[in-house]
């Protein structure tokens, strides 16, 4: 019997260590979930609507302010994201190319105007650093995106080539106070670019209004437009979108008046990370306590 309990203690200790090791490798809030490989199938080029992006930033934390682009009501680059079909990522791939802000100097004005760091109060190059480290490192295996300059120049080039304001206007969809159906927006873009885009919305959790957030166009590895992956959609309709098909999508031309509340389900990043770390240690403590009780 003593031998049995001895081996049982060894097994339980091993399981406890494995459990702790698994928890320690879970991605913490605010940290990039690193991918050890560059395996992806296509690129997602995402443009965001600055007004919605600003509303989200202001609601994320009290005191946040926005640095808007000179043309506030113009679609702005968010990023170029290598994507594996049916999945998110890869992210933060191993790369010998480390972010170097001096590489952006030749086209810095263009970046400030069209790939704007809307999140005011953050470091000057933080947004572009984030996009490169999370997505650019994975895209760098492409001969078209194999340097910091090539990656960011490509985003700026696509922004000029796919002027979403002009594309939407061709279907009489213009920024203002009127709402449009997700299908209208999807069809308007598809009719011009000839492939299926993805339409992204954010919801005001108090007024329940749906707001246009991003429009994404997908490309193959030869940088040719292709249909976006329908698995990105949370609806069963023809449009690839996360928007509620039963609600109009607001396409604001300016920041709504301050008496309107735009609440977003965000928790302060610092508090959330602290909470998750405390929960991690609590789970470890409970598990070890159980092992001690079980083996004594």
Q: Assess whether pLDDT exceeds 80 at residue 73.
A: yes
Considering the domain architecture, whether residues 137 and 218 belong to the same structural domain is answered as yes
Considering the domain architecture, whether residues 235 and 282 belong to the same structural domain is answered as no
Q: Which are the contacts of 188, defined by CB distance < 8 A and separation ≥ 6?
A: 167, 168, 170, 171, 173
Nearest C-alpha neighbor of 80 from the set 160, 156, 29? 156
Query: What pLDDT does 266 receive?
Result: 35
Considering the domain architecture, whether residues 91 and 133 belong to the same structural domain is answered as yes
Task: Based on the residue annotation, tell me whether 131 is a catalytic residue of this protein.
Answer: yes
User: What span, in angstroms and rounded, lies between the C-alpha atoms of 260 and 230?
Assistant: 34
Q: In the structure, what pLDDT confidence band is assigned to residue 21 with cuts at 50, 70 and 90?
A: very low
Q: What is the pLDDT of residues 271-285, one digit of tens each?
A: 345 445 555 555 655
Has residue 14 been placed in a domain? Answer: yes
Range of the domain at 158: 42-265
* Secondary structure (3-state) at 212: strand
Q: In the structure, what pLDDT confidence band is assigned to residue 173 with cuts at 50, 70 and 90?
A: very high
Has residue 37 been placed in a domain? Answer: no
Q: Assess whether pLDDT exceeds 90 at residue 76.
A: yes
Considering the domain architecture, whether residues 106 and 169 belong to the same structural domain is answered as yes
Considering the domain architecture, whether residues 245 and 281 belong to the same structural domain is answered as no
Considering the domain architecture, whether residues 281 and 238 belong to the same structural domain is answered as no
Mean pLDDT across the chain: 82
Q: In the structure, what pLDDT confidence band is assigned to residue 16 with cuts at 50, 70 and 90?
A: very low
The C-alpha angle with vertex 188 and arms to 187 and 193, in degrees rounded to 5, equals 95
Considering the domain architecture, whether residues 145 and 206 belong to the same structural domain is answered as yes
Query: What pLDDT does 86 receive?
Result: 87
Task: Based on the residue annotation, tell me whether 6 is a catalytic residue of this protein.
Answer: no
Higher-pLDDT residue of 86 and 202 is 202
Has residue 36 been placed in a domain? Answer: no
Q: Which of 78, 119, 209, 214 is catalytic?
A: 78
Task: Based on the residue annotation, tell me whether 78 is a catalytic residue of this protein.
Answer: yes
Q: What is the pLDDT of residues 212-248, one digit of tens each?
A: 999 999 999 999 999 998 665 555 458 999 999 999 9
User: What span, in angstroms and rounded, lies between the C-alpha atoms of 51 and 66?
Assistant: 9
Query: What pLDDT does 30 receive?
Result: 53
pTM score, whole prediction? 0.76
- The tokens 């707001």 sit on which residue? 211
Considering the domain architecture, whether residues 46 and 106 belong to the same structural domain is answered as yes
Considering the domain architecture, whether residues 18 and 47 belong to the same structural domain is answered as no
Has residue 33 been placed in a domain? Answer: no
User: What span, in angstroms and rounded, lies between the C-alpha atoms of 211 and 213?
Assistant: 6
Considering the domain architecture, whether residues 9 and 135 belong to the same structural domain is answered as no
Task: Evaluate whether 217 touches 45 at the Cβ level (below 8 Å).
Answer: yes
Q: Which of 58, 59, 119, 131 is catalytic?
A: 131
Q: In the structure, what pLDDT confidence band is assigned to residue 143 with cuts at 50, 70 and 90?
A: very high
Mean pLDDT along residues 62-73: 92
13-20, long-range: CB within 8 Å, 24+ apart, which pairs?
A: 13/291, 15/291, 16/287, 16/288, 16/291, 19/284, 19/287, 20/284, 20/287
Q: Assess whether pLDDT exceeds 50 at residue 45.
A: yes
Task: Express as a percent the part of the chain with pLDDT over 90.
Answer: 61
Considering the domain architecture, whether residues 201 and 117 belong to the same structural domain is answered as yes
- The tokens 């092992």 sit on which residue? 291
User: What span, in angstroms and rounded, lies between the C-alpha atoms of 59 and 265?
Assistant: 9
Nearest C-alpha neighbor of 231 from the set 47, 44, 30, 26? 44
Mean pLDDT along residues 67-95: 94
Tell me the CATH number at 114: 3.90.730.10
Q: Assess whether pLDDT exceeds 50 at residue 26.
A: no
Q: Assess whether pLDDT exceeds 70 at residue 11.
A: no
Q: Assess whether pLDDT exceeds 90 at residue 149.
A: yes
Query: What pLDDT does 87 receive?
Result: 87
Query: What pLDDT does 263 receive?
Result: 40
Q: Which are the contacts of 269, defined by CB distance < 8 A and separation ≥ 6?
A: 29, 30, 61
Q: How many independent structural domains does the chain possess? A: 2
Beta bridge partners of 250: 179, 211
Q: Which are the contacts of 36, defined by CB distance < 8 A and separation ≥ 6?
A: 93, 94
Considering the domain architecture, whether residues 135 and 153 belong to the same structural domain is answered as yes
Q: Which of 58, 59, 133, 135 is catalytic?
A: 135
């Amino acid at each position: 019997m003593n031998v049995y309990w001895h081996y049982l203690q060894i097994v339980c200790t091993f399981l406890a260590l494995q459990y702790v090791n698994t928890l320690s490798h879970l991605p913490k809030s605010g940290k990039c979930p690193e991918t050890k490989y560059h395996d992806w199938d296509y690129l997602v080029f995402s443009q965001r609507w600055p007004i919605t992006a600003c509303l989200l930033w202001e609601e994320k934390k009290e005191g946040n302010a926005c640095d808007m682009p000179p043309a506030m009501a113009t679609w702005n680059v968010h990023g170029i994201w290598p994507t594996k079909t049916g999945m998110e990522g890869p992210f933060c791939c191993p790369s010998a190319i480390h972010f170097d802000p001096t590489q952006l100097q030749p086209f810095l004005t263009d970046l400030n105007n069209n790939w704007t760091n809307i999140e005011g109060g953050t470091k000057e190059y933080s947004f572009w650093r984030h996009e490169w480290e999370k997505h650019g490192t994975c895209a760098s295996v492409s001969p078209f995106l194999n340097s910091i300059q090539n990656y960011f120049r490509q985003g700026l080039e696509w922004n000029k080539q796919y002027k979403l304001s002009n594309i939407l206007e061709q279907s009489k969809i213009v920024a203002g106070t009127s709402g449009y159906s997700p299908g209208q927006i999807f069809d308007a873009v598809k009719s011009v670019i000839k492939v299926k885009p993805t339409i992204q919305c954010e919801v005001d959790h108090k007024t329940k209004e749906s707001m246009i957030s991003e429009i994404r166009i997908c490309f193959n590895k030869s940088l040719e437009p292709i249909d976006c992956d329908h698995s990105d959609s949370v609806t069963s309709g023809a449009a690839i979108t996360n928007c509620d098909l039963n609600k109009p999508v607001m396409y604001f031309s300016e920041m709504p008046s301050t008496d309107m509340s735009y609440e977003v389900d965000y928790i302060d990043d610092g508090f959330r990370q602290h909470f998750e770390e405390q929960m991690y240690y609590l789970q470890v403590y409970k598990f070890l306590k159980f092992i001690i009780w079980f083996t004594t």
